[in-house]
Amino acid sequence: MLNLRNKNTLLKQKGFNLLELLVVLGLLAITLGVFIPSGQNMLKKSRLISTTNQVYSALLFTRNEATRLKTPAKLCFIQTETATNCTDEVTNLLGIFVKNLSDDNLTLKKSIVITEQATVVFKGVLGNYIEFYNLGNRQASISNAAVFLEVTVENIKRQVEICFNGRNQIRKKLNLSECK
């Protein structure tokens, strides 16, 4: 005679059936489909904020060197991290130069590497540089235009404005001057 108790234990399920597995995979696909694009946006915004902060810090450092050393200082694009002068080409390297009082040559004080996903553009100045004088004020602008650096990461933009007195600030709204 067969023992029914043993027969029932042999038929007991020990895993997932195909339907349960497909439901879990479907939910996982929907979840990833929602969160991956928002994660990529967060990554773009993070890169933009990071690069903007780098540019802002570079401007502050340049102005501080000008006032500390009582000599003009310049922030511009450079070709290599050991460059001896500025370049007109847009690169992913920014250099901070100070003028030697003895021979009027420029000396590279610091180089800043900008992430390759970001682009930095000088606006409102003649040439691809910003120069601060020994009192901390900046060079004159083109026909009294606002002077700022525009940082772009995949079509998202932020601007760092440099007021005539040398004060730097990150704009809250694009193309809206906050210098008074």
Q: Mean of the pLDDT values across residues 107-131? A: 91
Task: Return the minimum-mean-pLDDT range out of 31-45, 54-68, 87-101, 166-180.
Answer: 31-45
Give a yes or no: residue 8 inside a domain.
no
Q: Name the residue range of residue 102's domain.
A: 20-170
Q: Per-residue pLDDT for 77 more than 60?
A: yes
Residues, the chain:
180
Q: What is the pLDDT of residue 12?
A: 65
| pLDDT for residue 105 is more than 80 | yes
Which residue is listed with tokens 């029932």?
8
Q: For residue 35, what pLDDT is reported?
A: 79
Q: Considering its fold, how many domains does the chain have in total? A: 1
Whole-model pTM: value is 0.78
Predicted confidence at residue 102, as pLDDT, reads: 78
Per the domain annotation, does 7 fall within a domain?
no
The residue-averaged pLDDT of 1-11 equals 53
Share of the chain above pLDDT 90, in %: 59
CATH number for the domain harbouring residue 109: 3.55.40.10
Amino acid identity at 117: Q
CB of 78 closer than 8 Å to CB of 91: yes
Instruction: Please provide the distance, in angstroms rounded to a whole number, between the alpha carbons at the two ends of the chain.
Output: 100
- Is 110 a domain residue? yes
In a domain, 72, yes or no: yes
- Cα Rg of the chain (Å, integer): 28
Domain membership flag for residue 40:
yes
Indicate whether 176 belongs to any domain.
no
11 domain residue, yes or no: no
Reply yes or no on whether the pLDDT at 116 is more than 80: yes
pLDDT of the residue at 101: 78
Give per-residue pLDDT as tens, 26-70.
Answer: 999 888 888 777 778 888 999 999 999 999 999 999 999 999 999
Q: What does the pLDDT look like over 129-164, one tens digit per residue?
A: 999 999 999 988 887 888 999 999 999 999 999 999
For residue 16, what pLDDT band results from cuts at 50, 70 and 90? confident
User: Is 3 within a domain?
Assistant: no
What is the overall mean pLDDT for the chain? 88
Alpha-carbon gap, residue 130 to 3, rounded angstroms? 92
* Backbone angles phi and psi of 24, in degrees to 5: -65, -45
